[in-house]
Amino acid sequence: MRTSTLVAATAGTIVTGLLAYAVYFDHKRQTDPDFRKSLKRNNRRLARAVKEEVEAQGAQQREVIKAAMQQAKEEGFPTDLEEKETYFMGQVARGESLCAEGMYQVEAALCFYKALKVYPQPKDLISIYDKTVPKEVLEILADMVAMDAGLKLGSFTGEGAGPESHGVE
């Protein structure tokens, strides 16, 4: 008996077994009410577990954002006009480079937030962010803005607002 024949026979047997199991599973799924209920119950459990995991990650991310914002506030922001300009440019450049890397979304959003804190007209800067910053980072930035009671911007949703809504052309 040749090796290729043996390999072909083994592969055929495995494929036939998998096909038979698939047919059995489909038949059981369609005809057995207890089996269908069990599948539905398992799917609901899995969906609930996924939902809880997403909520836990969201809560964890909010805590990370709060801690990062607190650290930024403790570091303070420049008050001199020239220092503000230098600080602003540095934070925007750092935020853009972190966005390009794609892994550090919270850090990138924090850089944009710091730049927003020293910018004289934050609403205008937000309209620029809406057009240039990736959506994931923009959502984190929106959370940061919402958490900062001292930053008065009106409503900021992170939904790409057009220039006409902010008076920018």
Helix axes 105-118, 33-75, angle to 10 degrees: 40
Cβ atoms of 114 and 94 closer than 8 Å: no
Per-residue pLDDT at 161 exceeds 50: no
Neighbours of 146 (CB within 10 A): 15
Task: Write down the mean pLDDT value for the chain.
Answer: 82
pTM across the whole model: 0.59
Written as one letter, the residue type at 143 is D
| Of 40-49, 86-95, 145-154, 158-167, minimum mean pLDDT range | 158-167
Q: What is the pLDDT of residues 58-93, one digit of tens each?
A: 888 888 888 888 888 888 888 888 888 888 889 888
The predicted pLDDT at position 158 comes to 44
Structure tokens at 42: 């398992």
